[in-house]
């Protein structure tokens, strides 16, 4: 299938080409998908995009006019795609439902430990040949209460790791599985109960209209004073202005963020020499009790391999779809949803 892949980073190119193994005719570009770059898709049946690409209504309409019928995103989340319009336009959408959950889960734990033991400050002090310890006091993770909001595959791994530390794990999810709770040694609670009891809160849920700004002024006020907040899911789940206020007041004791509410156009690029920088992000970085990484939680060899392989598999499935009932190939270029209406 002739496909153009947008926003291809240098570190993922080899993984995509190896997974493809000359199966599909690929064009790779580091340019993001926008209304202006959509024209690059002319003559292609499919495109592959990344989480910060723009697949909004105007872009989808332009892509459809250029003959694009398939879009696969190299991410779990699809919040950057207008799914309703894609359905109306008969554009088939694919994603990467899961990849190595350990990549994101372990990064969340890394942020917790880095904040707790003040590793960034300790590193700065040691490089300045300052070895006085009074500003570096942390706490034992053992016996602390950690609240996990969103308990999918990644949340489960976070819980397993924390259980190994001897933490008490509380979970909030819209779907409860009691057997799962027993297996992973945690307790389901309401959001308010989680806010009130958790020493650390980890966000591991998708961005939806319901979860946008889930962490806001009101929810922060319900949290335990001095709580540590970790976000490795999606930036807009946290109201950044409310987060800043919580950090200033001490209601939030520390924050570890792999994502940022307004990261689009900022993350995944080198802006070192640029004079125009995001003031809100700069202010957030000025807090010694905040660690920010540039949406890198997924960045392991295993996860990159999983993402590349599933992306190519999506293209192959669309090119030669298989009937799930009879296990027979049914022809090329037929949307899977149309096999058995």
| 8 Å CB contact between 136 and 121 | yes
Q: What domains can you pick out in the chain, each with its CATH number?
A: 3-99+301-338 (3.40.50.720), 101-292 (3.40.50.720)
Q: What is the pLDDT of residue 334?
A: 35
Give the global pTM. Answer: 0.88
The model's pLDDT over 83-106, given as tens digits with 9 standing for 90+, comes to: 999 999 999 999 999 899 999 999
| 8 Å CB contact between 94 and 72 | yes
Q: Which of 24, 106, 295, 319 is catalytic?
A: 295
Distance in angstroms (rounded) separating the CA atoms of residues 78 and 82: 8
Length of the chain measured in residues: 341
Distance in angstroms (rounded) separating the CA atoms of residues 112 and 118: 10
| 8 Å CB contact between 180 and 156 | yes
| 8 Å CB contact between 315 and 46 | yes
Instruction: Judge whether 295 counts as a catalytic residue.
Output: yes
Instruction: Judge whether 163 counts as a catalytic residue.
Output: no
Distance in angstroms (rounded) separating the CA atoms of residues 315 and 298: 22
Q: Which of 45, 106, 263, 319 is catalytic?
A: 263
| Residue-wise DSSP of 73-105 | ESSS--TTB-HHHHHHTT-EEE------HHHHH
Scanning the structure block, which residue is given the tokens 């001490």? 250
Instruction: Judge whether 241 counts as a catalytic residue.
Output: no
Average pLDDT across each block of 10 residues of the chain; the chain has 341 residues. List them in order. 96 96 95 97 97 96 97 94 96 94 97 97 95 95 97 93 96 89 87 98 95 98 98 97 98 98 91 88 95 96 97 94 54 34 23
| Residue-wise DSSP of 155-176 | HHHHHHHHHHHT-EEEEE-SS-
Q: Which of 106, 234, 261, 319 is catalytic?
A: 234
What is the distance in angstroms between the CA of the first residue and the CA of the last residue of the chain? Answer: 24
Q: What is the pLDDT of residue 181?
A: 82
């Amino acid at each position: 299938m002739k496909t153009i892949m947008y926003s291809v980073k240098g570190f993922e190119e080899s993984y995509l080409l190896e997974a493809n193994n000359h199966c599909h005719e690929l064009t790779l570009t580091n340019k993001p998908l926008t209304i202006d770059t959509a024209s690059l898709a002319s003559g292609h049946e499919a495109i592959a995009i990344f989480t910060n690409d723009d697949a909004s209504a105007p872009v989808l309409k332009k892509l459809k006019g250029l003959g694009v019928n398939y879009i696969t995103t190299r991410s779990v989340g699809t919040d950057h795609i207008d799914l309703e319009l894609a359905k109306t336009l008969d554009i088939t959408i694919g994603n990467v439902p899961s990849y190595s959950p350990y990549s994101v889960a372990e990064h969340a734990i890394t942020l917790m430990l880095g904040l707790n033991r003040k590793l960034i400050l300790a590193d700065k002090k040691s490089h300045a040949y300052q070895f006085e310890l009074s500003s570096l006091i942390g706490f034992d993770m053992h016996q602390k209460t950690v609240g996990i909001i969103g308990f999918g595959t990644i949340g489960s791994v976070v819980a397993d790791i924390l259980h190994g530390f001897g933490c008490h794990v509380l979970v909030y999810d819209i779907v409860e599985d009691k057997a799962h709770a027993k297996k992973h040694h945690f307790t389901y609670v309401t959001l308010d109960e989680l806010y009130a009891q958790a020493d650390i809160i980890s966000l591991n849920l998708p961005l939806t209209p319901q979860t946008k700004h889930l962490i806001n002024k009101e929810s922060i006020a319900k949290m335990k004073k001095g709580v540590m907040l970790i976000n490795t899911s999606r930036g807009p789940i946290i109201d950044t202005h409310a987060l800043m206020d919580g950090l200033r007041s001490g209601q939030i004791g520390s924050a570890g963020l792999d994502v940022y509410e307004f990261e689009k156009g900022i993350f995944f690029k080198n802006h070192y020499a640029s004079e125009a920088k995001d003031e809100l992000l700069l202010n957030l970085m000025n807090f010694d009790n905040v660690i920010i990484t540039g949406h890198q939680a997924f960045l392991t060899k295993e996860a990159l391999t999983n993402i590349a392989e599933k992306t190519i598999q999506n293209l192959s499935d669309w090119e030669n779809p298989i009937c799930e009932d009879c296990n027979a190939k049914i022809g090329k270029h037929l949307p899977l949803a149309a096999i058995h209406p």
